[in-house]
Amino acid sequence: MGGKTVTRADLCEAVYQNVGLSRTESAELVEAVLREISDCLVTGESVKLSSFGTFNVRSKTERIGRNPKTGEEVPILPRRVLVFKPSNVLKDHVNGVPTNGAAED
């Protein structure tokens, strides 16, 4: 599992290479897409990218946790967490399963 990490710069370069926009326009496009996704998530909206997956924000309630070192019980405060559910198409692609060209969710 020690593969390369894809960065914003890598995404910008891929847009530049494949779409033909300038490097500046490619960077602006990538930033705009990421900003739109994060803004939607902040407001509680779900973000579904067909054939890729769905990002959701889930609210977790307060609960009691345990410090594994001391065994002491400590409260874990309520919070919102980001959840990603990959589509079946993405899961199949990651696992090397050939696709038939049809897009699923």
Note whether residue 29 is domain-resident. yes
Map tokens 């496009």 to a residue: 29
Same domain, 68 and 94: yes
Note whether residue 22 is domain-resident. yes
Note whether residue 24 is domain-resident. yes
pTM: 0.76
Q: What is the pLDDT of residues 56-94, one digit of tens each?
A: 999 999 999 999 999 999 999 999 999 999 999 999 999
The residues near 58 (Cβ < 8 Å, ≥ 6 apart) are: 80, 81, 82, 83
The total domain count for the chain is 2
For residue 27, what are the domain limits? Answer: 7-43
